[in-house]
Amino acid sequence: MGSTVTTANTVGKTWDGGNEPLGASYGKLMMWFFIVSDALTFSGFLAAYGFSRFKFIETWPLADEVFTHFPFAHGVSMPMYYVALMTFILIGSSVTMVLAVDAGHNMNKGKVAFYMFLTIIGGLIFVGSQAWEWKNFIQGEYGAIETKGGSILQFVDAKGKRVALEEFADTSIPKEREQLTRGKGKWFMEEGSLPTYSVEQVQAGFKSHPDLLIRTEVINDPETLETAKGLNEDKSLNRPKHKFVLSRAESEKRLADATMVVEGANLQHNEYGSKLFADFFFFITGFHGFHVFSGVIINIIIFINVLLGTYEKRRTYEMVEKVGLYWHFVDLVWVFVFTFFYLV
């Protein structure tokens, strides 16, 4: 039986450099290593989001009620329209990146620069859109009440339509206290800005508007009706995939337990429902937005080098292809974020 003998000369030929695994250059291989490791990071974030969502499924905000804004359409509810437009723009920028890489293979400097420019514009629009979306999410639109137990109470009319605090809060009642600032507080302490209305103003306004009702953060659908059975006396308000609406008597009882007014969302409070929703929203979309912003900066650097003719001198546009891999990865991640966070 013969044996295989590995000589020092054979080992030298294998590991003496110049060998490209799968025909990929060192730069491409390192980019793929980065993409795989980053994909695992995003997978962990989305898995944690999915676990938390299904653990608190009854109080998880409905995306159709949270992301309803559209630029220059103030007061018009357009659920998910702008998020869909953002997604289309980002995917479109991935297409222009493909065209830039293809033009690079053909050593067409003009087309590479043109499609890189379009890719940069698409990335900037997406990052700006995310910032605008964050602003609306943080600012809020309707406002809500948080109870002693941490539950969120929102206000609706008899038809189940959301009603903003500004539409009924009794502003004739003075606020309960002033905002704590470094100049007024002890030991130069300070706090975030106080809500526009106090609990007393909301309670008084609700009392003077008998047509108003309160809906809880509990989702009123066939899977959660059993847990909330007996709370809703008006069966006509039992609508699937909407928040659970209380009777007038129950609304007054729950409002008596109010501790603070919540406007918008931050890392401590969330007018839309579960606090974890806001935490995950800021972290996951912010982390992805940082990737897109970084990609835009890298694309700008590559674009400048294209204009300077750097890659023409090298006789290769491989740098465009490598940054293209990163850009496609960022776009693909957003598809998963969009699906898990906004659609499911």
The confidence score (pLDDT) of residue 28 equals: 86
More confident call, 20 vs 134: 134
Say if residue 225's pLDDT is above 50: no
Secondary structure of the chain as H, E, C letters: CCCCCCCHHHHHHHHCCCCCHHHCCHHHHHHHHHHHHHHHHHHHHHHHHHHHHHHCHHHCCCHHHHCCCCCCCCCCCCCCHHHHHHHHHHHHHHHHHHHHHHHHHCCCHHHHHHHHHHHHHHHHHHHHHHHHHHHHHHHCCCCEEEECCCCEEEEECCCCCECCHHHCCCCCCCCCCCCCCCCCCHHHCCCCCCCCCCHHHHHHHHHCCCCCEEEEEEEECCCCCCCCCCCCCCHHHCCCCEEEECCHHHHHHHHCCEEEEECCECCCCECCCCHHHHHHHHHHHHHHHHHHHHHHHHHHHHHHHHHHCHHHHHCCCHHHHHHHHHHHHHHHHHHHHHHHHHHC
What is the mean pLDDT of the segment spanning 144-169? 90
- Is it the case that residue 10 has pLDDT exceeding 90? no
Residue 188 binned pLDDT confidence (cut-offs 50, 70, 90): low
Mean pLDDT of the chain: 84
Whole-number pLDDT of residue 223 = 44
pLDDT of residue 240: 47
User: Which CATH number does the domain 23-140+278-343 belong to among 1.20.120.80, 3.10.180.10, 3.40.720.10, 3.40.50.150?
Assistant: 1.20.120.80
* Positions of CATH 1.20.120.80 in the chain: 23-140+278-343
Report residue 230's pLDDT band, with 50, 70 and 90 as the boundaries. Answer: very low
Mean pLDDT computed over 73-83 = 84
Give residue 174's pLDDT: 76
pLDDT, residue 95, reads 96
* pLDDT value at 56 more than 50: yes
pLDDT at 136: 92
Mean pLDDT for the stretch of residues 111-116:
96
